[in-house]
Amino acid sequence: MLVGSSVRRVAIIGGTRIPFARSMGVYAEASNQEMLTASLKGLVDKYNLRGEVLGDVGAGAVLKHSKDFNLTRESVLDSGLAPETPAFDLQRACGTSLDTAIVLGLKIATGQIDSAIAAGVDTASDVPIVYPSAYRKLLLRSARGRSLGERLSPWSSFRPSFLKPQLPGVGEPRTGMSMGQHCEKMAQTWQIPRVEQDQLALESHLKAGAAWDQGFYDDLVVPFRGLKQDNNIRRDSSLEKLAKLKPAFATNGTLTAGNSTPMTDGSAAVLLASEQWAKTRGLPVLAYLTYGKYAAVDFVQKEGLLMAPAYAVPRMLADAKLTLQDFDFYEIHEAFEAQVLCTLKAWESPEFCRDRLKLSEPLGSIDRSKMNLKGGSVAIGHPFAATGARILATLAKQLAERGSGRGLISVCTAGGMGVTAIVER
């Protein structure tokens, strides 16, 4: 059966991650499998799961070598969990690990499984490097040869240019534009000033630094390769310093290296379960994953590439019968601060809410003092597939410390998609 006799609440037990690090630095030679395994081991040690058979483990990476076709399963086998624990890979760009949590949450809610780990990992340092298609075809023709002559014959077409490597592209295949270029257009459309982007970036750094200094992340992060804290956080950042940075994606643009997410390496994992499973093992429940929603936009013809969460959130609010103001915490992924501000402005716009969302009135504004309280992706970093799990664990802990409440998660992704969720206690 795919569905049990009743729907169960999906408990968030907690999470672990390794420190997020700027790419080409301390994790330059760490593989996705090493990093993902480190986060899983951290979760196993934290919750005494060594030798346990979990219902399922789901994780993924955006930048992944072909040899990592079974990445999550291989990491599980090294994690300390029982080898009988199954695992699968999933990839939805920057929404990967939040999507995985929703998928696994559905399995728990319907009684298919009782426990699961949702995780994600990415490295922009150890990226897959390929060679031109002509060289690949030559190698395959040679490999198909049955005789020595047939194997050697294709090499007559070899050219030195075949050895020129092709690094992974960062542009959208359908437009040829990078995410930053797309977001620059969004900032122009929504008239987002640079000073507002820089202000949000400054707040992200200051909040993240304060959270670390106050010990908030101490039980959420496990050391890896000598690193104990996220190394992109700038506690000494200022508006003056941010204002000196040059535009990164357009000559007269507003997006800079300071108000955009840095290329980052890292991994994160979250333990989910039924309430009974947690109770049996004496594990406290931090919060509950209650709603999730996806959306996609036509970013080629109609809409900004990173605007899909602006559509997903109101649909999720309708499911939950809530308003945008019914939250104590807002965790909005900072791919670029301009993207966050465009989304917030869209929800405040009578025209956007009427014409695009088909709502009778605007969703309205949020209390900014409740947004990304422990720092956002611009400060902490953004290993693509790991960010959702990082946010989910952070939000669950904030709700547990508060004792009650409700939090909203919004993550934009490449390909014009968005993944959103509601977490409650």
Q: What is the pLDDT of residue 44?
A: 98
Q: How confident is the model at residue 425 (pLDDT cuts 50, 70, 90)?
A: very high
Burial of 225 (0-12, 13-18, 19+ CB in 10 A): middle
Q: What is the pLDDT of residue 5?
A: 67
The residues annotated with a catalytic role in the active site are 94, 382, 412
Q: What is the pLDDT of residue 1?
A: 53
Compute, in degrees rounded to 10, the torsion defined by CA atoms 383, 388, 390, 396.
170
Encode pLDDT of 293-336 as tens digits: 999 999 999 999 999 999 999 999 999 999 999 999 999 999 99
Percent of the chain with pLDDT over 90: 95
CA dist 34 and 341 (Å) reads 35
Domain of residue 309, CATH code? 3.40.47.10
Is the separation of the CB atoms in 388 and 120 below 8 Å? yes
CA dist 260 and 376 (Å) reads 11
Domain assignment present for residue 403? The answer is yes
The runs of H, that is alpha helices, within 116-178 are: 133-144, 148-152
Encode pLDDT of 4-31 as tens digits: 667 899 999 999 999 999 999 999 999 9
Domain assignment present for residue 385? The answer is yes
Is the separation of the CB atoms in 56 and 86 below 8 Å? yes
Domain boundaries, position 323: 179-215+290-424
Domain assignment present for residue 236? The answer is no
More confident residue, 362 or 7: 362
pLDDT over 70 at 142, yes or no: yes
**Total domains in the fold of the chain:** 1
Encode pLDDT of 51-68 as tens digits: 999 999 999 999 999 999
* Average pLDDT of the residues in 385-407: 98
pLDDT over 90 at 171, yes or no: no
Domain assignment present for residue 94? The answer is no
* Average pLDDT of the residues in 346-355: 98
Q: What is the pLDDT of residue 6?
A: 77
Domain assignment present for residue 345? The answer is yes
Domain assignment present for residue 362? The answer is yes
Domain assignment present for residue 323? The answer is yes
Domain assignment present for residue 43? The answer is no
